[in-house]
Structure 1
Amino acid sequence: MEKYFKRKFECSSGEQINSETSVQKKQVVQEEIESNTGSQRDVWDKIDLAELPSDPGLRTPIANYNVNVQDEIRRAYVQKGPCQPRNHLCPQKEFGDSSLRRFKTSWFNDFPDWLEYSIAKDAIFCFYCYLFKPNSEEHGGGDSFIDGGFSNWKKKERLQIHVGKSGSAHNRARIKYEAFVNQKQNIDCRCDLLREKKRLEVVESLNLGEISSRKGLNQETTLKRPGDTRWGSHYNSLLNLIIMFSATVDVVEMITTDDTSCGKRGEARILLGFMLTSDFVFSLHLMKKVLGISDELSKSLQRRDQDIVNAMKLVKISKERLQAMRDNEWESFLRTVSCFCERYNIDVPNMDDMFIPLGRSRRNTQEITNLHHFRVDFFYAIIDMQIQELNDRFSEVNSDLLLCVACLCPDNSFSAFNKDKLIQLCEYYPKDFKPIEILAFEEQIQTYIIDMRSHKDFEGLQGLNDLAETLVVTKKHEVYPLVYRLVTLALILPVATATVERIFSAMKIVKNRLRNRMGDQWLSDSLVAYIESDVLDNIDNDVIIRRFQSMKTRRLQL
């Protein structure tokens, strides 16, 4: 808040000079802090791991990076190791007793794993604590080994104080470091093992003649981690799991016996037992089928160049395919699941037997057959849920509204233009268009489209954003005010899902563990300021101060 609001006090000339000097000092300190740490958004945008500074005094704190790339930054620094310039001649430093001292590179031999030296700051740092600094904890010897660096060369014992006892913050950071390194090695080992298992399967299938060999076929693949906001990544993960099911089961089975962690062995046993059930296979194929039907629609809505007409067609096609799957594809789907289970020796239940829920008490449970469980409670329920979601998101009114908006699109010389649809779009906004304005719009829109198609400035435009900007630049928004009003209303419609995905990603950063009691209005305002930072950066601070001051009477003038 200090950046935007600075209090102004009425004071004498001498006090005012002192106050101005104090403010200038604070501004200098603030600029130095910002120059060292950098803007978070600048750090987050594009990171070249090869260009990360090795000098610990020049590094950006790990907490200033996006949480999604922090592990990548840690891995890059783990590969580099601690910064230990052993051949550097360290400068001498004068202490209170007029003695000259310097950092001794022999200290690296005493603390080879974590001690770092910064040539830029002539100070030493802790490698472990930089990578895994515990939050809200005191370090032995203070935070100088992390933030500003330690340079009191007369007190080497402070290094051992920093290390502390077994439960110290430094040792907790060391444990996290070792776990991180071991985890990476285990993950790399398991990924290599997974690829090797799949390679052996492909070789065996080729020898048996089950698959053909040709350029571009049987490419190497591996499991992919799904993203938090893109359903397409979930679909690709399911496809890879189906293809690599046998290899995945083998690797999980090896973890149950070979992993050094008892907890991970237990988790692997539970996961293995669940994967080798018909319920898991049924769920795997059902979700693959449902997400596959809506995959093209999902990709269409995520593209920046929105083709609303085709997107609405894909909505209709998705609904029709889901309904056809519900009505006619149960038998074929069940055969696919049964064949998959037989291939991997997974028991297929008799559909006429009574369903027995796993891990639940049989008391007070409704007796149903396996057929009812898989077909009604599972197959029909998931499909109905997806159809209902599409109907809620793309109702008849919403779909018609979006098709009307598409008629404003300037792509291909306004090829989607339809006067009747645009008049209908005006009628959807009775508070913005009076009946007499709609009548005037009918004549204005025809003059507008002839002008647009004959004007060179409007050739090659892509999307409503370009159209609105060009209308303002050419002053056409004053010539066609009703059309421009309709364009601005269309721009605020949340058609694409890309903005929503960015909001979900930003929400994890804005509303974190320390702000978990943030209210809806405050959260909404904070997200707008965070997401639209490019716009807010262009607003002068004095405008914000005047706006804040005019909201209500305040005792002090800002």
Structure 2
Amino acid sequence: MEQFLKRRSPPSNIELDDLPHDPAKRKNIQDYHPDQRDEVRRKYLTRGPCQPRSHTFKQKSVGNALWRFNPHWFDQYPDWFEYSMAEEKAFCLFCYLFRVQVGKQSGCDAFVSTGFSSWNKDDSFSKHSIRHALHKQNDIMKDEYRIRLSASIDVSRHLLHQGLSFRAPTEKEVSTNKGNFIELLKYTASQNEAVRKVVLNNAPKNNQMTSPPIQKDIAHCFAEEVTKSVIQEIDNDIFALLVDESADVSDKEQMAVVFRFVDKFGLVKERFIGISHVKETSSLTLKHAIDSLFAKNGLSLKKVRGQGYDGASNMKGEFNRLRLLILKESRSAYYVHCFAHQLQLENFFDMIHLLLNVIGASCKRKVVLTELNRKRMDERIKNGEIKSGTGLNQDRSLKKPGNTRWGSHYKTLFHLAEIFPCIVEVLEHIQNYGTDSTKRQQAYGLLKYFHTFDFFFYLQMMLVLQKLRDDGWDDFVAKVYSFSEKNETEMTNIEDEFVDSRKPRTKTGITNLHHYKVDCFYTVLDMQLQEFNDRFDEVNSELIVCMASLILIDSFRQFDKSKLVRLAELYPDDFSFVEWRSLDHQLDIYLDNVQKDDRFTNLESLGDLARVLVETRKHLSHPLVYRLLKLCLILPVTTETVENDCLVCFIEKHVLETITNETVIKRFQNMSERRVHL
């Protein structure tokens, strides 16, 4: 009676996302309430087996030899074979979910309960099989089901690719608005006779494959396959972790996660992985959410080589604590704050870079710009607006920044402000008469941006900051006096004793000069410097300086072997002592090699350098240099902002296009018990 009451008692709430991924940490499936077992099974089937490919598998003494687990077995048995990092043993996912465990078993049945670790007996894997009792079904029925399911998958793929919603408020046949999914399925059926015969009204009423749960399951299958493809693209290599805060429609906190890595072609990629909901916003909770995401996808925090966070409100401070927790597990997971992103300057400098490419890519356009500016200067001199003379009003041209230092950027912006009307005239000519449609479109976008308040605000702010740095205190005070005199306000003797207006009778013991120069002017500058210091600590600053030594401009003029060797020292988990010593010699050979190769002469970025190194296969000749380059490229300087889980497929639409229907069908069938077995 007690057992009966226990079985009939209401189930306690369980968080499906918190279910342990490691097979040794799971509780028996029979220990869950009967009403929850199918839900738990579906969750584990959707996740797939625990296959930590990047785990360092321990050796085990068997007989007189040492044996260890071979991760290639995951590829041989991808559906059921899983590994416990806690117990260092192999298990069977299907046996855990569907087979009743009756104590300790031996042989192949060790996969069920105690775990298998006889790595010298890999024939046991093929002997271990899971047989499902399948209902005998008519082949015609299966074919019709497959056509129906494939049609729903094709419709879902299109809607996900375009970022369109699936459903309408009501999808009944009598409704005038049946939603994008049903309407697109109807159109697909009208264009294909084979599909028309088996979908919608021609399908069994209980198996039309169009219900909201079916639509949701298909979308989820696509998202899981996209994520799986991204993990395979990383290929157990190093990557950076980017996290952004975003709230859902009910204002619940969630984390959007992006991975930044260099693929096998030398291309830098940022891939959206998904969104993790968090119950609270403490650093430990955020860390737990990331641990769960990594465990689900068989990833290790030890592979993280960079961190980037963008959070608002109460999560922002917790991200600072989170990065310290991750640093404890991966000491080279450096965090570099993107100050330009914080100031919303990223788009500003992107547009400046585009301008330099549009005009600077053509000698003819540069000559036209110079001639226009010369004519403009002559007219202004003639009208008495400006004076001529040695060193005055020289010809201005747009120059690309030479390195990472602010001074070169300032010169570019200064020249831009000086010849802005001429630049607009050249862009208008490109937009109206250019022969290259891409350049015409770029000119249109630049002209549109250059007439916004944002552009003028950030341009002047950058110039003012530099001017304040150059002119300093004397020029600043002169302007204050000039403004005060012009507006007939009270003049202050800078040498008199400062009087605090809040306590006029109290002696301050300092002069007005000291108060305004030290307590005000310098304090504000110190606050700004402190802000930079907080965001760019000593190690991060050294990272950026060392990375600049890889810049390609002026035939690798910034190349500094000592700084690059120092950069390798900052990544002790990626360079052994022997490799670190070998890097010194390899850098000399690398520099001589690329300087003599014309394919490296016109590259503009480190990303271009990595790509061409792979294309020329020089990354194989200089593996340590290429490894160093990859570490630089994955160091995050920007973050991706995302809003909801459906964006996985929309953002990674290029990956979505590679997912086959058969792959989705297989995952869809494994999610839960279906009416038809394929």
Compute the TM-score of the two structures, normalised by the length of structure 1. 0.35
**Per residue, is there more helix in 1 or in 2?**
1
Taking CA–CA contacts closer than 8 Å with sequence separation of 6 or more, which of the two structures ends up with the larger relative contact order? 2
**Per residue, is there more strand in 1 or in 2?**
2
